Amino acid sequence: MAAPTTTIQDATNIGPHRSRLNALVANDGGAACEGRFRYREAGSEEWVYPTSHDGDTDWTNPERAYDGSGTTSADGSADLIPDWTPWLELYIAETVATKARALTYPDSWGHYTDVQVDVRRASDSEWQNIFNDTWVPNEWQEYEIGSSLAITGVRLRYYNSSDDTWYAVRLRLVQIYAEAWAYTDWANGLTTDNPFSADITGLTLNTEYEFQAQNRNEDEGDWSSSKFFTTGFTSPLPCFRRP
């Protein structure tokens, strides 16, 4: 069995606040599969905060790493020297992201010199390393994922290269650069050459939207290429002449 593949098709039934998204199962991979769509306003990326953290973390005040304040910090310390701090694991609902970033107090510099950053893949909940190098104090430092990836978390740890075991690294904020996709429900019972669709509503008038499709059996297939549509009236409004 192989992961299924998907062919995206044009949207139909486009109105001022609705549309029907369409796709085709190009190859089911050898078994019946499911299909879904994701959609967003074209170009609608934004920096977002994680929403929770690992409750068993050894960091102090871990919620401060995503509270939006920027004037307080989550604090972590290495137990031995030289050594890494424990991981600070931060979680978010499934989000398609291209990078993460962190802001750390400058007075940690000289004690904690390197940072390792991983993201948790939504497909298998495994951690994937995206950065392992020197960190920059007192400014946002960005960590590229490399390509769009559906993730459910980000984690960081810092390396203490000094002889001060008591010194804590002070992490102000962590953010994820999200592509702001919305997802439809899975349609099931699909096989090769089967079309599938999803009706979406609540769209903004005169706005361009991007959408993609995906199929899965025991394995998730890749997202298709993108199609675009613009909301609006599909036919002219009737004109009425006053008697």
Convert the pLDDT of each residue in 1-10 to its tens digit.
Answer: 899 999 999 9
Phi, psi (degrees; rounded to nearest 5) at 223: -65, 145
CATH code for the domain of 35: 2.60.40.10
In a domain, 163, yes or no: yes
Q: What Cα–Cα distance (Å) separates residue 128 from each residue in 5, 104, 152, 199?
A: 24, 22, 11, 34
Question: Is 85 found in the same domain as 15?
Answer: no
In a domain, 127, yes or no: yes
Confidence (pLDDT) at 238: 52
Residue 159 is part of which domain span? 46-178
Question: Is 173 found in the same domain as 199?
Answer: no
Residue 148 has pLDDT above 60, yes or no: yes
In the predicted model, what is the mean pLDDT of the chain?
91
- The total number of residues written for the chain in this structure: 243
State both tokens at 103. Answer: 């802001």
In a domain, 167, yes or no: yes
* Residue for token pair 């992201």: 97
| Per-residue model confidence as pLDDT tens digits over 64-123 | 999 999 889 999 988 877 889 999 999 999 898 999 999 998 766 678 889 999 999 998
In 3D space, the residue among 59, 169, 172 whose CA is nearest the CA of residue 109 turns out to be 169
Of 160, 178, 196, the residue that ends a domain is 178
